Structure 1
Amino acid sequence: MGDLLIRDVPEAMKRQLQESAQRNGRSLSEEAIEILRRQIAAERSGVSAGQRLRALMGDERLSDDEVDAIAASRHEPDREPPRFDR
């Protein structure tokens, strides 16, 4: 197997990876490999984000009113971002 060196990993991200590895009973390297494996598999599966979201929602469905509101909002002009300096 080959080696992979990843430089400049933010400390917070490394800490999260270490915590995840500990929860899953893996070494830091094993956890990173598992995360990479899952991500690559997800990209290769060809399943869209919408399909994954529908799978997570199960039997929950948006109402017709919710779908109509989403569709209508797509045609609205972008609003100004909020200002917090006033």
Structure 2
Amino acid sequence: MTLREALSQVPDPRAHNRRYPLWGLLALILLAFLSRMDSLRGVARFARAHPHLLPHLGLRKPPGHTALTGLLHRLDPQALAQALVPVFPETEP
């Protein structure tokens, strides 16, 4: 299973008028944190600094801090952890 497939299985807690695909935002957050960003403001800066990555994540423009914060406040962490187990089996909850 690919990371995209795993992240696509996470239930999206946002309204149906969302601008960014959930899997793309989660993958962006993961990439930014792996690149040593330590905050959601850092993730937003990372997205602006690396626009060439956005199309690969299904994103047309970089998300802002508000979009990232709103998502993570609503996201079910257990659902995310469970979806990532096939990709990262050593993290089994």
Common fold by TM > 0.5: no
TM-score when scaled to structure 1?
Answer: 0.30
Higher Cα Rg: structure 1 or 2? 1
TM-score when scaled to structure 2?
Answer: 0.29
Which structure has more RCO (C-alpha within 8 Å, separation ≥ 6)? 2
